Structure 1
Amino acid sequence: MTQDHQEKSPPPGFVQSHTRGPFSTHNGPFFHKVEGDQFWHGLYIAERHCNSRGRLHGGMMTTFADGLMATAVARANKITAVTISLNCDICSAADIGDWLEGTARQIGLNDGIAYVEAEAWVGGKTIFTASGVFRLLEGKAARKN
């Protein structure tokens, strides 16, 4: 296994995501799982995702939260959206090698503005919760995962 855990298999049902932009691809690898209307994203925490104390960096948490919420909006509306506002509440720490998993859901839509909530966890421990506001981009087809 490499230091970045790239050879470690994800939990059952998760597959590696290949439709992300350059920033997310650089910070991955990310994984996803879809069951009906529900989805989850996952990531093995690597050293490059951490702060100087070896704990998951808050910036990486917000990156993960943004991806979760953008996916929820895209799945709910079948079009792409951009982030207007993102708030991330850090609840606990996560360490190198931990499997970070999360999901999100759109909770409202008004005049092309979507409102979203997300959460992520390691095992049964909540690492962060997040909320966001997204503007739908008319005519921009959404990616599926």
Structure 2
Amino acid sequence: NRWHRGLLETLIKSQRMLFNPHYGITGLFALPFYFVFELAGPLVELYGYLFFILASIFRIINYTYASLFFALAVAVGTMISLGSILLEELSPRRYPGIKDILELLPSCLLENIIYRQCLSFIRVKAFIDYLKGKKEWGKMEKKGF
């Protein structure tokens, strides 16, 4: 969770740049994007999971709509991942053959079903660690190829 704690630390130190036209595109667009989507996004996602669990416990959820909403969220996330692969392929042709692209396709779906949820919990843990004052990065060992 070091990366997310570092992001949080950087954004807090740079908050005077937020929505400040003096800093151009960085202040008006880049930093607000990171605050909303990278920093607050995992918290909103966690609240969504907690709300779903509580709504299930108290039987105040329509599972048909919840399932459709989840399917739509996965579909949109998958389309974004596919679009990223397509853009990467159109620019410097990073993937040498069609086989390489086909191998990536399952990860576009799995990223939105398993990986995203795990990463959200790791990011929330990083947020909690930061609030507790955890500043050290831990021991980092160099490893060769």
Instruction: State if a TM-score over 0.5 links the two structures.
Output: no
Q: Max radius of gyration: which structure?
A: 2
- Bigger helix fraction: 2
TM-score calculated relative to the size of structure 1: 0.29
- Bigger strand fraction: 1
TM-score calculated relative to the size of structure 2: 0.29
